[in-house]
Amino acid sequence: MGMLIKNGNVVMVEDGKISKMDVLIDKGIIAEISPEINRNDVEVIDIEEKFLIPGLIDMHVHFRDPGYTHKEDIHSGSKAALAGGFTGVLMMPNTDPPPDNATVVYYWKEKSKNIPLNILFSGCITKGRAGKELSKLHELKEAGVVAITDDGNWVANGAVFRHAMEYAAALDLLVITHAEEPTIANRGVINEGYWSTVLGLRGIPKAAENVAIYRDIEIAKITGAKLHVAHLSTAEGVRLVAAAKKLGLKVTAEVTPYHLVLTDEALAGYDTNLKVNPPLREAEEQKALLKGLLEGVIDVIATDHAPHASYEKNVEFNDAPFGMEGLETAFPVLYTELVLTKKITLEKLLLKMTVNPAKILQLPKQGDIKKGNYANLTIIDPKLTLKVSEELLVGKSKNNPFLGKTLTGWPVMTIYQGIVAYQRLLKGVQ
Amino acid sequence: MGLKTKAKIMDEDGIRRAIRRIAHEIVEKNNGVENLGLIGIRRRGVPIARRIAEEIKQFEGVEVPVGILDITLYRDDLSSLSHQPVVHQTEINFPVTGKKLVLVDDVLYTGRTVRAALDALMDLGRPMLVQLAVLIDRGHREIPVRADYVGKNVPTSKKEVIHVHLAEIDGDEAVYIMEKEDE
Amino acid sequence: MKRKHLLGLQELSKEEINTILDIARPMRDIIMRDIKKVPTLRGKTVATLFYEPSTRTRSSFELAAKFLSADTLSINVGSSSVQKGESLIDTIRTLEAMGVEIIAVRHQQSGVPKFISLNTKMSVINAGDGFHEHPTQALLDLFTIKQKLDKIEGLKVAIIGDIYHSRVARSNIWGLIKLGAEVTVCGPPSLIPVEIEKFGVKVEINLQRTLEWADVVNVLRIQRERQDAGYLTTLDEYRDWYGLTQEKLEKLKGKKLLILHPGPMNRGVEIDDYVADGPNAVVNEQVTNGVAVRMAVLYLLAGGNESGNVD
């Protein structure tokens, strides 16, 4: 069983090349890439110069399973990921019960085993993500987690975090930090600045994030562990990560699509779909994030896909939970707002969404279109323009900040290990 | 829908003569000016009331007090308008209780304005009696209201509109019949 | 004014603010009459939905509605399903289903009136939301200043106290700036919100200098219940540094200064008895004018044809 994809504009990310190629898939592996392949013993699809890109990898998703399956579950989240062109995701441990021991990891493995998506697991740093006692880190490692994090919470206790990092270094676990010092954040709900003053909402100073990143990097320095800074939102955070990299520390960082394209001004109407942590910041911070991305300080774009039910979001601003869902719109948002506006090239954008996350998560034979790699591929129609609507989104929750926006460059097919795992059906199109 | 002028039915002299006659009738009917007050309904009732007072002063030598009544808050058609009209102040600087009041307006049509004015007046006190003076009565009453003093009776159709122009507001003096143009 | 809701002064134009202030004058005349009632809103229903205790503002809205002949309904948080955990949206839908047309909302959270306005056919009046806006308070302050000093443009107005937690301050700033006043905010450094200068105001932490500069001062209430996390040193230091005391006024050597306070006053903290009851304070006029301004707002928002489609 094989497949031949003809006439694609194939993006070879690491080589930084886009060229018209045919790609042959055999037994779930990329068997051949050349300008002209002709076979009649396999399924042939002609993609008519659409982009063929490596399957996207998102190292920051919340599938809410177990515990909050009214928001999302492993199946619905996987559907959303595949519809967004993703072939790999790293699940965050914000579940109930949380994965502070292997039990939840076994549940995840069992529930996800037949899903055509590379679902990776993270465990908690501390029991119940409460920041006090360490999780069963050896057990989690053996059960197969690739990273540990208390995402949503910063491990405020410095000693606890230091010891977690010591174990992480020994066990070769990536430590992902949600960097926000809680007493500086002081119950803030949006970025502290002009708009928090106008709207009369408690602000989260950028200092809350910067202080936390600084401490985490210092602990990385004394432990040698791999530190990944989740969803950077400040210029100073970019500077701190750059400095850490310069020192040769194993520090990586990610940014979300919405921090790259939205600012806190968007909150003027108190739209709770825009309430997120870390908060949307000012244009100056956004500029620094984009610069950090272009210069390689920021390694990864991750969605922080955080679904919430509409009845949870459709409440008073302070009472609404933080988070935006975004797997399905991540690529078209970035393609429309950054690639079409020439702020970043498609190859460079994809480096942050395929090759780099695959390296950081140590995923062999993934992340790029190369002979011998898994045939995890996504077809992007660069001419397809769609308006984001609740009906368009296949995930369980609709708290997407881009509802109503018209975006270009949508995934139309997602292939996981040679199998068509998702195909976009367009109304009115044959 | 536009309006086009159909006819000029009064000029400056006509208006002056009508107001003068009304002034005389008021004094005659009330046996003098004692206890009398004039209440102009905003907007064009106000200059007419002032002119009546001026005329009375000329032949009686007495200043009859003039008040201004804004009836906006008493209108019965507010919810059918696309947005609320501006409310102005009612300025009646004399007590109305026990007075003989003459309400003054430019055009009497459905009678609804007069109804509103009467309600507004009653909320200010208890006059001895209230009379009504209008420059033009064009008919088509929807409420049992009758004017005591009329400058000119003008038969109209419902498609027509009366425009009274007064120097204080419009810069010229005339009364026109306008006709609504069909689509 | 073609507007369905009154959510704040930030979104109003200068012309809209002036229209409200102009209409508040004849409304005030009605309050001064023996018969304090006009039939304007007969058959309309106005509800006050207060999630925060307030005697003054709620009574003011209710009287304003009654003077205009509207039927009124007062929803008290303590006596309704709100305490049974009903969601705000469901409460709003219930009121709408009961035929309420205008709702005045007070809530401890910023943005709630806006949120309601997006989820209802009723007209929404913000009666104070969190630290965001309190538009009718600012309108009555503007009306009072105009009544006493005949103008707003060119006046120097100081707003004194806890600016950070003050919706009164924010609404006043928007209104005053739009009408051409110069505004200075003065208060303890911990209670000056970030980037307030971008509103077009000056920041001053010395009260005496501020008083020397100002024509009008608006003294804010210190909300003791909100003073967590070390915003204040001590209350007596607050009084010494930011309280409007007789000694500070005496240093002005008879300079004319109009003094406003949105009430309720913490006498002896932000304002001294002697100042509060003195000749320059117009606290009671503010209360009367509050009813007039709210009548004007209710009148303007009640307009529109059946579909309510005026925005």
Question: Do B46 and B90 meet the contact criterion of CB atoms below 8 Å apart?
Answer: no
The pLDDT confidence band at residue C304, using thresholds 50, 70 and 90, is: low
Give yes or no for residue A357 having a pLDDT over 70.
Answer: yes
Residues 6+ apart with CB under 8 A from B85: B72, B75, B78
Fold of C14-133+287-301: Rossmann fold (3.40.50)
pLDDT on residue A86: 98
Rounded CA gap, A251 and A82, in Å? Answer: 29
The pLDDT confidence band at residue A430, using thresholds 50, 70 and 90, is: very low
Mean pLDDT of the residues in chain A: 97
Q: Which domain holds residue B40?
A: 3-180
**Interface membership of B142 toward C (CB under 8 Å):** no
Catalytic residue from among A58, A100, A264, A304? A304
Counting every residue written for chain A, the total comes to: 430
pLDDT on residue C78: 58
Instruction: Label residue C16 exposed, middle or buried (CB < 10 Å: 0-12, 13-18, 19+).
Output: middle
Q: What are the tokens at C250?
A: 């005496």
Going by the annotation, the residues of the binding site of C for L-aspartate are 84, 167, 221
Residue B153 per-residue DSSP state = E
Instruction: Label residue A109 exposed, middle or buried (CB < 10 Å: 0-12, 13-18, 19+).
Output: middle
Which chain C residues contact residue B82 at CB under 8 A?
Answer: 2, 303-305, 310
Contact A270 C229 (CB under 8 A): no
Residue B80 per-residue DSSP state = G
Q: Could you write out the DSSP letters of every residue in A146-160?
A: -EEE-TTS----HHH
Residue intervals of chain A classified under CATH 2.30.40.10 are 3-52+373-423
ipTM: 0.94
Question: Do B96 and B125 meet the contact criterion of CB atoms below 8 Å apart?
Answer: yes
Rounded CA gap, B134 and C84, in Å? Answer: 61
Give yes or no for residue A378 having a pLDDT over 80.
Answer: yes
Burial A295-331 (b: 16+ CB within 10 A, else e): eebbbbbbbbbbbbbeebbbbbbbebbebbbbbbbbb
Q: What are the tokens at C210?
A: 């501020």
End-to-end distance of chain B based on CA atoms, in angstroms?
6
Q: What are the tokens at B61?
A: 């030598």
Cα radius of gyration rounded to whole Å, chain C: 19
Mutate to test the interface with B, among C32, C40, C295 (most CBs of B within 10 A): C40
Closest chain A C-alpha to C213 CA, distance in angstroms: 25
Per-domain residue ranges of chain C: 14-133+287-301, 135-286
Annotated catalytic, A271?
no
Closest chain C C-alpha to A188 CA, distance in angstroms: 13
Closest chain C C-alpha to B125 CA, distance in angstroms: 8
Which chain C residues contact residue B119 at CB under 8 A?
Answer: 39
The pLDDT confidence band at residue B84, using thresholds 50, 70 and 90, is: confident
Mutate to test the interface with C, among B87, B89, B91, B121 (most CBs of C within 10 A): B87
- B47-65, pLDDT tens digit by residue? 999 999 999 999 999 999 9
Mean pLDDT of the residues in chain B: 95
- B99-158, pLDDT tens digit by residue? 999 999 999 999 999 999 999 999 999 999 999 999 999 999 999 999 999 999 999 999
Cβ atoms < 10 Å from Cβ of A427: 7
Question: Do A181 and A156 meet the contact criterion of CB atoms below 8 Å apart?
Answer: yes
Q: What are the tokens at C199?
A: 């509103």
Question: Do A400 and A273 meet the contact criterion of CB atoms below 8 Å apart?
Answer: yes
Cα radius of gyration rounded to whole Å, chain B: 16
Provide the percentage of residues in chain C whose pLDDT is more than 70.
94
Question: Which among B70, B78, B83 has CB closest to C26?
Answer: B70
Query: Roughly what angle, to the nearest 10 degrees, separates helices C14-32 and C167-178?
Result: 110
Residues 6+ apart with CB under 8 A from B65: B37, B38, B53, B93, B94
Task: Indicate which CATH number applies to the domain containing B7.
Answer: 3.40.50.2020
Check the CA dihedral B56-B58-B59-B63 and report its sign: positive
Give yes or no for residue C83 having a pLDDT over 80.
Answer: no
| Interfacial residues of A (vs C; Cβ cutoff 8 Å) | 186, 192-194, 196-201, 203, 269-270, 311, 314-319
The pLDDT confidence band at residue C235, using thresholds 50, 70 and 90, is: confident
- Strand B66-69 versus strand B100-108 pairing type: unpaired
The region that residue A28 occupies, defined by phi over 0 for left and psi between -120 and 50 for alpha, beta otherwise, is left
| Interfacial residues of C (vs A; Cβ cutoff 8 Å) | 10, 87-89, 107, 109-112, 114-115, 118-119, 129-133, 167, 170, 193-196, 198-199, 229
Residue of A nearest to C107 (CA): A316
Q: Which chains touch A (3 or more CB pairs under 8 A)?
A: C
Residue B35 per-residue DSSP state = T
Closest chain B C-alpha to C117 CA, distance in angstroms: 19
Please report where in the chains the tokens 């990776």 appear, as a residue.
Answer: A120
Residue intervals of chain A classified under CATH 3.20.20.140 are 55-360
**Interface membership of B93 toward C (CB under 8 Å):** no
Domain C135-286 top-level CATH class: alpha beta
Give yes or no for residue C70 having a pLDDT over 80.
Answer: yes
Q: Could you write out the DSSP letters of every residue in C110-158?
A: TTHHHHHHTT-SSEEEEEEETTTB-HHHHHHHHHHHHHHHS--TT-EEE
Q: What count of CB pairs under 8 Å joins B to C?
A: 64
Closest chain A C-alpha to C111 CA, distance in angstroms: 6
Contact B123 C33 (CB under 8 A): yes
Closest CA to C5 of C112, C95, C109, C78: C112
* pLDDT, greater one: A185 or C231: A185
The pLDDT confidence band at residue A427, using thresholds 50, 70 and 90, is: low
Closest CA to A225 of A305, A176, A169, A299: A169
Mean pLDDT of the residues in chain C: 92
Fold of A55-360: TIM Barrel (3.20.20)
Backbone angles phi, psi at B102, to 5 degrees: -115, 115
Q: Which residues pair with A57 in a beta bridge?
A: A88
The region that residue A335 occupies, defined by phi over 0 for left and psi between -120 and 50 for alpha, beta otherwise, is alpha
**Interface membership of B31 toward C (CB under 8 Å):** no
Cβ atoms < 10 Å from Cβ of C237: 12
Is there a binding annotation on residue A304?
yes
Closest CA to C218 of C261, C188, C183: C261
- Strand A2-12 versus strand A17-26 pairing type: antiparallel
Q: Which residues pair with C50 in a beta bridge?
A: C76, C106
Question: Which among C33, C299, C302 has CB closest to B124?
Answer: C33
> Among B3-7, B15-19, B45-49, where is mean pLDDT lowest?
B3-7
pLDDT on residue A426: 74
Q: What are the tokens at A306?
A: 């955080």
Is there a binding annotation on residue A151?
yes
Residue A127 per-residue DSSP state = G
Among the four given CATH numbers 2.30.40.10, 1.10.150.170, 3.40.630.30, 3.40.50.10190, the one describing domain A3-52+373-423: 2.30.40.10
